[in-house]
Amino acid sequence: MTDLAHIRNFSIVAHIDHGKSTLADRLIQETNTVSARDMKEQLLDAMDIERERGITIKANTVRIEYTADNGEHYVLNLIDTPGHVDFAYEVSRSMRAVEGSLLVVDSTQGVEAQTLANVYQAIDADHEIVPVLNKIDLPASDCDRVAEQIEDVIGIDASDAIRVSAKSGIGIHEVLEAIVHRLPAPTGDANAPLKAMLVDSWYDSYLGVVVLVRIMDGKLKKGDQIKMMQTGARYGVDRIGVFRPAMQNVDELGPGEIGFITASIKQVRDTRVGDTITHEKKGADKPLPGFKPSVPVVFCGLFPVDSAEFEDLRDAIEKLALNDASFSYEMETSAALGFGFRCGFLGLLHLEVIRDRIEREYDIELITTAPSVIYHIYMRDGSFVELHNPADMPDPSKIDHIEEPRIKATILVPDEFLGDVLKLCQDRRGIQLDLTYAGARAMVVYDLPLNEVVFDFYDRLKSVTKGYASFDYQLTGYRADNLVKMQILVNDEPVDALSTMVHRDRAEMRGRAMCEKLKDLIPRHMFKIPIQAAIGGKVIARETLAALRKDVTAKCYGGDATRKRKLLDKQKAGKKKMRQFGKVDIPQEAFISALKMDN
């Protein structure tokens, strides 16, 4: 067990691509934690998809041993966190397990939207923060300007910010010295009853569930009988260890230490993130304050292209949900797409990552329906309904009002693109809250409806600003608005899978776009097919798909015009009858294209 004064627990926080994982690599390399032949780029990003996209998705932890210049020997526990807004949940819980943060800012780009979001999480968790200016070897680097920006925008003293280049290894020794001297040691009492915070858990096919814990008080030894304070479940500890980044067994963990335990736990569901672990006998009286559970924000349907793969999809989704506490799912059936799942995600990137993992790791082809959000529906009789799927909307005459989720979006954008960004936000029914300047960049704060953001806001923002804008958001609550359910009718039959919730002012535009799209996608039949968008009983847009027809007048040559007329009228009557009894077959491809997210 290490003496408390010689432990430092810290995390690295930064915007996407400002060099968190590379800095972690250098710290591991500088302290010879991993032998030179096992070292590789982004060592802590273990998933294929993380390495391929160059992003961190899961927060990873590693224990580093370091002998400082004053000869003292220290144990450093590092948690590398994600930068994307969709994985902010991973960041918030990592923060609770450590006492300090290294704030990494790219010295060529300066403070970005996610830098702010992640720093505020660190400040909320009462962290000591050490600013680090990265990428100083690049010609565009301007450390003085960025240090000033950190002081102006975030309000942290950056006069003694450490200047490093994580790629080439400049300044890494100074970072290690700053961790030892500027970050606080953890507190805790080794003789008090055990209190360990459950920071994360995941499923390993050999060991069962592996639980990442941070010991606050007391000691945890191999063979101890433990209980989870939230669920009351009891287990015997099989093995205890630390990550160097490979798992290494130890005999016990004391206060201030971060490590893992396995205890023959069968399901990750039994381990709630934020739970307190204590001894079964002589345990702690009060649990630690946990984390707020993550709330899914975006919902979409996942259906297998081949309906015979439904059971495989169920298996894949259950396994993924084991490893990802913020992913939720329930079964759903659709007349058009068959059996599938309605899944909840923290954002669109989270949705894409889960979809890619299912397609790649389990080899299942998926159809993803258009993303939607949860609406709150207040009925006239005073009851309240949560609406996940527009197809389940109650009778409009019984509804008093509908509320939709709103977000507070912070956008940092270079001055020359400001007008385009303001226009985009106004078009999306945004309300401007604030506009300030940080150097040559504007910081715009908008109140926006989440429904407009999940559709294609991020892509549009990137295209109008040539990729220079950074965007971060948090949910602020629900507000009533003039929302309606728009249905699509094909040959007067409503198609459930295509119904969506829209704002009344924008319904006509959305309806027209949808009808035009379907007109190109549905194959022609022997009779003409009306494609309509309707709100309640009122049709707001219509396209007509022409019929395939045989030339019945081909055999008429010369003679009276009434002969042709007679044949055409007969054909017309036949088409009319056909239209009454005919069924329109909408091919699966048409559904997939109509529901595609990138429309």
Tally of structural domains, the chain: 5
SS (HEC) of 420-481: HHHHHHHHCCCEEEEEEEECCEEEEEEEEEHHHHHHHHHHHHHHHCCCCCEEEEEEEEEEEE
Q: Do 493 and 476 fall into the same domain?
A: no
Range of the domain at 439: 375-481
Determine the Cα–Cα distance for residues 42 and 46; give it in Å rounded to an integer: 8
Say which residue, 554 or 445, is predicted with more confidence.
445
The residues facing 409 across adjacent strands are 446, 473
* Residue 491 is labelled as binding a ligand: no
Cα–Cα–Cα angle for 130, 6, 41, nearest 5°? Answer: 55
**Is 324 a known ligand-binding residue?**
no
Same domain? For 163 and 224 the reply is no
pLDDT at 592: 62
376 is in an annotated binding site: no
End-of-domain residue from the set 449, 481, 513:
481
User: Does residue 38 carry a pLDDT above 60?
Assistant: no
Do residues 27 and 138 both lie within one domain?
Answer: yes
Is residue 598's pLDDT more than 50? no
Same domain, 576 and 529: yes
pLDDT score recorded for residue 52: 52
Res 588 pLDDT > 80: no
Specify whether the CB–CB gap between 242 and 63 falls below 8 A: yes
Q: Does residue 157 share a domain with residue 33?
A: yes
Q: Are residues 43 and 150 in the same domain?
A: yes
Give per-residue pLDDT as tens, 389-418: 777 788 888 888 888 888 888 888 888 888
Known binding residue 22? Answer is: yes
Say whether both 175 and 31 belong to one domain.
yes
Q: Is residue 287 in some structural domain? A: no
If asked whether residues 208 and 273 sit together in one domain, one would say yes
| 20 marked ligand binding residue | yes
Task: Establish if 507 belongs to a structural domain.
Answer: yes
Task: Give the predicted TM-score (pTM) of the model.
Answer: 0.66
Is 21 marked within a binding site?
Answer: yes
Q: Which residue has the higher pLDDT, 411 or 288?
A: 411
CATH of the domain at 35: 3.40.50.300
Does the pLDDT value for residue 319 go beyond 80?
no
- Residue pair 79/59 in contact by the 8 Å Cβ criterion: yes
Does 252 score more than 70 pLDDT? Answer: yes
Rounded to the nearest 5 degrees, what angle is found at the Cα of 275, between the Cα atoms of 294 and 286? 125
135 is in an annotated binding site: yes
For residue 44, name the pLDDT band (cuts at 50, 70, 90).
Answer: very low
Q: Tell whether 540 is covered by a domain.
A: yes
* Domain's final residue, options 139, 156, 182: 182
Q: What is the pLDDT of residue 597?
A: 42
Q: Would the annotation count 292 as a binding residue?
A: no
| 137 annotated ligand binder | yes
Domain boundary among 368, 402, 430: 368
Cα separation, 58 vs 82, whole angstroms: 7
Buried b (16+ CB within 10 A) or exposed e, 188-222: beeeeebbbbbbbbbbeeeebbbbbbbbbbbbbeb
Q: Average pLDDT, whole number, for the chain?
A: 79
C-alpha span between 304 and 334 (Å, rounded): 12
Quick: pLDDT tens for 106-141. 888 878 767 777 787 788 778 888 888 888 888 888
Query: What is the Cα Rg of the chain in Å?
Result: 29
Rounded Cα–Cα distance for residues 419 and 413 (Å): 10
**66 band by pLDDT with thresholds 50, 70 and 90:** confident
18 marked among binding-site residues:
yes
Of 84-98, 200-214, 466-480, 545-559, minimum mean pLDDT range: 84-98
Four-residue CA torsion sign, 210, 211, 217, 223: negative
More confident residue, 202 or 248: 248
Position 188 in a domain: no
